[in-house]
Amino acid sequence: MLAYTIRRLLMLIPVLFGMTLIVFFMIRAIPGDPAQVILGQQATEEAIKSLTKQLGLDQPWYIQYVDYIKGLFTGDLGTSLRTSSEISGEIWPYLAATLELSLVAMVIAIFIGVNAGIISAWFQNSWFDYTAMVLALVGVSMPVFWLGLMEQWAFSLELGWLPSTGRENVRNPVEAITHLYLIDTLIQGRMDQFVEVVRHLILPGIALGTIPMAIIARMTRSSMLEVMRSDFVRTARAKGTRMFWVVYKHSLKNAFIPVLTVIGLQMGLLLGGAILTETIFGWPGIGRYIYDAIGFRDYPVIQSGILIVAVIFVFINLIVDLLYAAIDPRIKYN
């Protein structure tokens, strides 16, 4: 297991190397010049030239690339062109915001999705099954931005129950320690702020969690239906086991591998692809951070932001692969 993990981590190097190369060229293929964007439409030719030189963008591409890679090896993610500060120093709060939102969304999605899938399979062709599967179909088909806007309209504008944007009550700001506000407010014992943070998480959490929830529910249902026809399920029933345990113990553990795969993929997508949700809900996350950087042609931020998202994605997949072996004793990594 340890040897396998190390091998997988070593395999990360060429993957990430290739990825830096692709991102490096793709962002330079976008029309627009960082110096021009920073200085504005009225800037003189001279000014643009000198800023380009100052930013190091007058160097040939391979020198720029080698400098970038050298930096990465020393843990230097580069300097933002826009804010002139170290990216490694400013990226964590954004990342933390995204992590917190994605985890909340995923917990909701897994809890409801897995249970809905199980119950649908258990009572196949019942009204619950039909309702859940129609809702799941609606869920996967629903554009996130539309769902988000409808939530804001209904629960903020019309009913006024929940805040529509942001991570916290700006008049009662959270004092950041880890930048994961749920944890920060608990550490400080600020229950009032904790409640506020939870209230801010609900709408974007649901918006972000709906699609994964629907996908997880459908996958759980089909996987459970298949497993529940197995011989060992009949054996368990012939032993006198309660149907609840036949379903939640004997069947679920066998049916969970494909569900876990979907959960891993969706988690990766949430972390990198929450841009729409983050934009609609004014969530200061990594998606917004990269999105804004693209507008400014802030090459170093785009490069490093995408790199970090990719690393997280690959790590989640590794964790999922290791969990397979924990669930199914027949899977061995040697």
- Contacting positions for other proteins (CB under 8 A): 230-232, 234-243, 250, 253-254, 327-330
Nearer to other proteins, 75 or 240 (CB): 240
- Name the helix (H) or strand (E) containing 207: helix 191-227
Angle between helices 286-295 and 87-122 (to 10 degrees): 130
Taking the complex as a whole, the smallest distance from the CB of residue 253 to other proteins amounts, in Å, to 5
CA distance 81 to 107: 36
Output phi, psi for 228, to 5 deg.
-70, -10
CA 238 to chain centre: 43
How many alpha carbons fall within 13 Å on the CB side of residue 93? 11
Q: Which is nearer to other proteins, 40 or 329 (CB)?
A: 329
Compute the least distance from the CB of residue 258 to other proteins, in Å: 14
Q: What's the CA angle centered on 73, arms 69 and 79, to 5 degrees? A: 65
CB 128, min distance to other proteins, A: 16
Amino acid at 109: A
Rounded CA separation 260/328 (Å): 12
* Closest approach of other proteins to the CB of residue 238, in Å: 4
Please, what is the minimum distance in Å from the beta carbon of residue 260 to other proteins?
Answer: 13
> Shortest Cβ distance from residue 145 to other proteins (Å)?
41
Q: Judged by CB, which is closer to other proteins: 146, or 245?
A: 245
The sign of the torsion formed by the CA atoms of 220, 151, 105, 303 equals positive
Q: Enter the tokens of residue 150.
A: 């409808």
Supply the minimum distance, in Å, between the C-beta of residue 234 and other proteins: 6
List the Cα angle 126/131/132 in 5-degree steps. 100
Least distance (Å) from other proteins to the CB of residue 208? 31
Q: Rounded distance, CA 275 to CA 261, Å?
A: 23
Residue 153: CB partners within 8 Å, gap ≥ 6?
none
The residue among 95 and 236 lying less far from other proteins, judged by its C-beta, is 236
Q: Which residue number, 130 or 145, has a Cβ lying nearer to other proteins? A: 130
Q: Name the helix (H) or strand (E) containing 163.
A: none
Four-CA torsion 34, 35, 39, 45, nearest 10 degrees: -140
Query: Shortest gap between Cβ of 174 and other proteins (angstroms)?
Result: 43
Q: Which is nearer to other proteins, 171 or 330 (CB)?
A: 330
145, amino acid identity: F
Using the minimum distance from each CB to other proteins, give the nearer residue, 161 or 232: 232
> Judged by CB, which is closer to other proteins: 197, or 236?
236
Rounded-to-integer distance, Cα 5 and Cα 24, Å: 28
Length of the chain: 334
59 vs 241 by CB, closer to other proteins: 241
